[in-house]
Amino acid sequence: MKRGRKTPPPVVPAPGIAPEAASSAKGRITEDYLGFVHDTAEEDPKHFCARTAAAREALEHLAQLRDLSAEDGAATQDDAPSNEDVLAEARADIALENRS
């Protein structure tokens, strides 16, 4: 018995991926999914499911990293020295080296 048609799941762009790459990936995922659903895919269904699950986990991992880096960035942004402070410190170090 043939399975009924399913619509492809929505593709959520990963954080930090260029729009062109996301568009290309979306096209590839759509083709793979339609081949899987229509039973015309050359790939073993188990491999397809494993590859899709791995991609989903990778996207979740990237989202977690983005969230963590945003939290760390917000906390350390205020503590970071300004460019002028870094330049003044570098000049002082150079002046100290020149004296010795």
pLDDT 10s digits, 11-25: 555 556 677 877 888
Tell me the average pLDDT of the chain: 77
Return d(Cα 19, Cα 26) in angstroms, integer. 10
Q: Which residues lie below 8 Å from residue 33, measured CB to CB, with a gap of 6+?
A: 8, 9
pTM strictly above 0.85: no
Domain ranges of the chain: 19-99
